[in-house]
Amino acid sequence: MKRRQFLTSSVAAAAGGVTSSALAAPLAGREYYELRRYHLQSGPGQKLTDSYVAEALIPALNRLNVKPVGAFSLYLGPETPSLYLLLPSNSLETLATAELALAEDEAYQKAGSNFLKAPAKEPPFIRVESSLLIAFEGFPKLVVPPVTASRGARVFQLRTYESATNFDHRRKVEMFHHGEFEYFKEAGFWNVFFGDSLIGPHLPNLTYMISFPNLSELNAKWEAFNNVPGWKKLRSSEEYSFEPIVSNVTNLILNPTSYSQI
């Protein structure tokens, strides 16, 4: 228990060092997200990782009340193949201590044995990257696309906006709360999550995920978004157009795996 308390307090302390609007607002009711990326190589290691995530990791995380878990293969973006996982939780402690809990989960250890005990000369993945985010105050919970339950067609776009300063970062977060959520819906996107990065690379930044039925609709939906009257007014307002408040954008297209819960 002491070790768990130490890990949680360490994460909180690290998050406390980030000057972010996420930390200035009340946290009650807002989810935390771990966004995890497995760098893979084509071949048996990729298949082993898929089997491990589907049959061992996701069921074990669900037992910890980390759900729904999103699992996505990188379709368009750098360094393919890659597998992205989105782990939502109402509890920061749960995410911070998940590895300790998994180490004590016999069912997980048995189901994931081939992956967990893979020899160093045949690793199932190259490296893992992970970021910790907190949901925006105005979008406190992840929303699963309406077609997921029926395993309907869906594509996901994962976008990260970096800002040159914390001041600019806060301005960009404000834009979402001043209408940007609704403008995505108006353009036909399914909003999935919007998170402010607490721990991870290239801070300050925010990451969000939107979804739509088919990749062929992407350009039309973005054109519709850019022509929403409210968005045109918001982006041209003096409060947000005085300088480029987003300095870099990472834009990925993801396909859900057969075992994704999102």
What are the structural domain ranges in the chain? 2-256
Taking the chain, what is the end-to-end CA distance rounded to the nearest angstrom? 32
CA–CA distance, 244 with 52 (Å, rounded to integer): 43
Question: What integer is the mean pLDDT of 27-41?
Answer: 94
pLDDT in tens, 179-223: 999 999 999 999 999 999 999 999 999 999 999 999 999 999 999
Question: What integer is the mean pLDDT of 57-78?
Answer: 97
pLDDT in tens, 231-249: 999 999 999 999 999 999 9
CA–CA distance, 144 with 150 (Å, rounded to integer): 12
- E-only strand ranges, the chain: 32-39, 70-76, 82-89, 127-135, 155-162, 190-199, 205-212, 248-256
pLDDT at 11 over 60: no
Residue 72: the pLDDT is 98
Residue 241: the pLDDT is 93
Residue 20: the pLDDT is 44
Residue 140: the pLDDT is 98
Q: Are 95 and 34 in contact (CB under 8 A)?
A: yes
Task: Name the pTM for this structure.
Answer: 0.90
Which residues make Cβ contacts (< 8 Å) with residue 191, sequence separation at least 6?
Answer: 139, 143, 181, 184, 185, 208, 210
Q: For residue 246, count CB atoms less than 10 angstroms from its CB and return exposed for 0-12, middle for 13-18, buried for 19 or more.
A: middle
Residue carrying the six token digits 């016999």: 106
Kindly indicate whether the domain formed by 2-256 is annotated with CATH number 3.30.70.100.
yes
pLDDT at 5 over 80: no
